[in-house]
Homo-oligomer: A and B are copies of this chain.
Amino acid sequence: MTGASDATSPPIIDAEAHHKLMEQLSTIGGGPGGALTRLALSEEDRLARDWLAGWMKAAGLRLEVDAIGNMFGFLDWAGSDAPRIMTGSHIDSQPNGGRFDGSYGVVAACSAIEAIQRKVRETGITPKANFILANWTNEEGARFQPSVLGSGVHSGEHALEFALSRKDADGITVGEALNRIGYAGSAESVIPDALIELHIEGASFLENAGKRFAAVDRFWGATKYRVAFIGRQAHTGPTPMAERRDAVLAAAYLISDIKAIADKGGLDMHTSVGRLEVYPNSPNVVPGEAVLFIELRSPEPDLLASAEEELKAAMQEAARRASVEVEVRSIDRRKAGRFDADLFKLAEETAAALGEETMRLDSIAGHDTVAMASVTKGLVINVPSLGGVMHHPSEFTSPDDRAFGVQILAGMLWRFCLEGSGLIRRRS
């Protein structure tokens, strides 16, 4: 522990302890080949939350749970006037997803907080910031839509009643699911002064550039439509083709057109249809209903708006061609924007002190910190993911890269311990 008493040097994280924590959490909902299925508010989520609550208690953090199930671990050691710096992510996963998306950010927050606690003990300094460890509810949007639901409620974007009444495919509401797993709390909303989220990249820009650290400058906007085509069930045999009202055919036309919107939009336009529900989905029944979960994403608000117009026209055209009706069931829009420049600079400085350049990236995926960016200074920082894979069992970030990310996060938090609100009041 040479130099451990030097307050100006960043705390050294315990990489082995971090690795073990990550492995512990990975067993909850884990499957073969690196698979993880820990759907929001499922039994697996409950077990993982209990595990996290146990860690917080052992670390001396005060756990509070709010009405949408967000978990906050408070480290109030700097007095009520000191800024509150939040870090964390989410521990829910996609079905058959990977181990690191979200979970890494939560475990990294644990390890970074543990490192600054140790450094405070060793140096005897008086910290100038309080900290909050966050685990947000239903980031993934796999079981319940929309995604980033817990942070969306916290930022005031979604009304609590709206969020609690969202239903999964079995008709279970978020509110019911929260009660079942015992995570419907009553904590009041606390808006932090800064929010830092460490996340695996989920694309291969870092890997391709041979770099190991990035901070996010722009975050993309997203427009999500849930669209239903309503046809008419009929026998796939005798029903004359001209009389069919085939909901899946309309879906096929639209999926093809949605891909064409991306082709036209170039690198600044991503589109997808990730979920498609077909009713009754029997081999010899012409489908009577098809529901599409459509996403359009772009960093350019104008491009996103024109893509939405194209989508609306394509929906009508697909319905016309297949002689079905079309209904928009829900629309969810997330604005494009930029993260906080002070936090970006802090990340750059912290990485530079560790001899690493900071790559400037866009965040295309939604993150809780994007949802919170309208109410607080936020920043997402990234370490590489192998092959750019995310939302798949083979999702992987090497232990070294993971430890390096935690080291940077701990360094950033330490700067807040030393400098307090001065770090982020420059622009406000």
Which residue of chain B is the closest to A243 with respect to CB atoms? B388
B224 engages A283 (CB within 8 Å): yes
Interface string of A280-301 (1 = CB under 8 A from B): 1111111110000101010000
A203 in the interface (beta carbon within 8 A): yes
B288 engages A283 (CB within 8 Å): no
Interface string of A112-135 (1 = CB under 8 A from B): 000000000000000000000000
Using known A-B contacts A256-B256, A286-B274, determine if residue A280 contacts B235 with beta carbons closer than 8 Å. no
A239 in the interface (beta carbon within 8 A): yes
B285 engages A391 (CB within 8 Å): yes
A274 engages B285 (CB within 8 Å): yes
A275 engages B270 (CB within 8 Å): no
Which positions 91-119 of chain A face chain B at CB distance < 8 Å? 94-97
Number of chain copies forming the complex: 2
User: In the complex the two chains form, what is the Cα distance from A256 to B248 in whole Å?
Assistant: 10
Which positions 126-159 of chain A face chain B at CB distance < 8 Å? 140-142, 145, 147
Q: CB < 8 Å: which of B263, B287, B365 contacts A237?
A: B365
B283 engages A295 (CB within 8 Å): yes
A238 in the interface (beta carbon within 8 A): yes
A240 in the interface (beta carbon within 8 A): yes
Going nearest first, the 5 A-B pairs with the smallest beta carbon separation are A237-B365, A252-B255, A236-B272, A283-B293, A203-B238
A241 in the interface (beta carbon within 8 A): yes
Which residue of chain B is the closest to A254 with respect to CB atoms? B252
User: In the complex the two chains form, what is the Cα distance from A273 to B231 in whole Å?
Assistant: 14
Contacts of A236 in B (CB 8 A): 270, 272, 274, 295, 297
Q: CB < 8 Å: which of B96, B204, B253, B270 contacts A256?
A: B253
Using known A-B contacts A248-B273, A251-B252, A255-B249, determine if residue A282 contacts B237 with beta carbons closer than 8 Å. no
User: In the complex the two chains form, what is the Cα distance from A295 to B248 in whole Å?
Assistant: 14
Which residue of chain B is the closest to A241 with respect to CB atoms? B262
Q: CB < 8 Å: which of B97, B277, B284, B388 contacts A272?
A: B284
B238 engages A390 (CB within 8 Å): yes
B237 engages A285 (CB within 8 Å): no
Contacts of A248 in B (CB 8 A): 255, 273-274, 276
Interface string of A20-57 (1 = CB under 8 A from B): 00000000000000000000000000000000000000
A278 in the interface (beta carbon within 8 A): yes
A388 engages B238 (CB within 8 Å): yes
Contacts of A246 in B (CB 8 A): 259, 272
Shortest beta-carbon distance, A303 to chain B, in Å? 14
A185 in the interface (beta carbon within 8 A): no
A364 in the interface (beta carbon within 8 A): yes
B232 engages A392 (CB within 8 Å): yes
B253 engages A141 (CB within 8 Å): no
Q: List 22 A-B contacts (CB under 8 A).
A: A94-B284, A95-B282, A96-B279, A142-B280, A142-B282, A201-B238, A203-B239, A234-B389, A234-B392, A236-B272, A236-B274, A237-B365, A238-B365, A238-B390, A239-B270, A241-B262, A241-B271, A246-B259, A252-B252, A275-B281, A284-B391, A286-B391
Known: A147-B284, A236-B297, A284-B365. 9 other contacts (CB 8 A): A97-B285, A203-B239, A204-B243, A240-B267, A248-B255, A249-B255, A252-B259, A275-B281, A282-B391
Which residue of chain B is the closest to A251 with respect to CB atoms? B252
User: In the complex the two chains form, what is the Cα distance from A274 to B251 in whole Å?
Assistant: 12
Shortest beta-carbon distance, A366 to chain B, in Å? 7
Contacts of A259 in B (CB 8 A): 246, 249, 252
A220 engages B203 (CB within 8 Å): no
A233 in the interface (beta carbon within 8 A): yes
Shortest beta-carbon distance, A193 to chain B, in Å? 27
User: In the complex the two chains form, what is the Cα distance from A335 to B105 in whole Å?
Assistant: 59
Q: CB < 8 Å: which of B96, B234, B256, B392 contacts A391?
A: B234
A175 in the interface (beta carbon within 8 A): no
